[in-house]
Amino acid sequence: MGGKDLYPEDLRGFLEILGSVERECRVLYYRIEDWREDLVRSIETEIYNLCGDKAYFQIYGDGILVTTRVAMASMVRLRRAMGRGYRIARKESIELLLRTLGVRSISQAVDLVRAREPGLKNLVLITCGDCVPNVIGGLAKRYEPSRGELIDGLRGLVSICIGDKRALEILGTLDLEALEKIAIECGAKIELEL
């Protein structure tokens, strides 16, 4: 090997930030049963008032969900974008969604994850440091998704990324780790375009 580095510099940087994010952040899951636009604004305000820039959230329609690993990879991409001064969205939580899906259009991202449609919503909260915004418990119900729910939710996310409804048939044979890998690669598309 001649002492040659195994990882390109960019990948090393990504892995260093990922290690930091995994140590200091955690992912919490909530359900919003009575979705309304003003409710989302209330949740956003509560999270910001309690945690400032130490917490970020994403809202997905029923049947779409991310795992902790996918959320952490998105956080790394968000931090890298902020560090480079390259952001698309004004709000960090929207930027996080763009970095999860690997798309540049805010309206497209919100439509893809069915965040504005009526019905049950999954709220994924990434909180870093010691901030735990438990006040949102009155606005959304905390829950722990089962492994099956995470697999189904990732299938939904990956089928969006692939852009083919028939992909669900193929994705039905993949395990959680394989789905996570595809989902993380989907989010990386946005960095590859830079």
67 assigned to some structural domain: yes
Predicted confidence at residue 81, as pLDDT, reads 84
User: How far apart are alpha carbons 168 and 184 in whole angstroms?
Assistant: 17
SS3 state of residue 175: coil
Predicted confidence at residue 1, as pLDDT, reads 40
92 assigned to some structural domain: yes
Would you state the structure tokens that stand for residue 80, as one six-digit string?
């890298």
Residue 43 lies in domain: 20-192
177 assigned to some structural domain: yes
Q: Which residues contact 147 (CB under 8 A, 6 or more apart)?
A: 176
User: How far apart are alpha carbons 63 and 49 in whole angstroms?
Assistant: 29
Alpha-carbon Rg for the chain, nearest whole angstrom, is: 17
53 assigned to some structural domain: yes
164 assigned to some structural domain: yes
Which domain CATH number covers 38? 3.30.2380.10
Give me the residue label for tokens 């960090």. 92
Do residues 179 and 170 make contact, with C-beta atoms less than 8 angstroms apart? no
Number of domains in the chain: 1
7 assigned to some structural domain: no
Would you state the structure tokens that stand for residue 4, as one six-digit string?
């040659």
100-151 pLDDT tens trace: 998 889 999 989 999 888 888 999 999 988 887 665 767 788 899 999 999 9
pLDDT digit string (tens) for the chain, length 194 residues: 444 444 455 666 777 777 778 888 899 999 988 777 788 888 888 888 888 888 888 999 999 999 999 999 998 888 888 888 888 988 888 899 999 998 889 999 989 999 888 888 999 999 988 887 665 767 788 899 999 999 999 988 988 888 766 666 667 778 888 889 888 888 887 766 54
CB atoms within 10 A of CB 62: 15
Q: Which of these, 152, 173, 171, lies nearest to 67 by C-alpha position?
A: 152
Predicted confidence at residue 167, as pLDDT, reads 67
Backbone angles phi, psi at 157, to 5 degrees: -65, -45
Would you state the structure tokens that stand for residue 167, as one six-digit string?
């992909």
96 assigned to some structural domain: yes
3 assigned to some structural domain: no
94: exposed, middle or buried (Cβ count in 10 Å: 0-12, 13-18, 19+) = middle
Predicted confidence at residue 7, as pLDDT, reads 45
Predicted confidence at residue 6, as pLDDT, reads 41
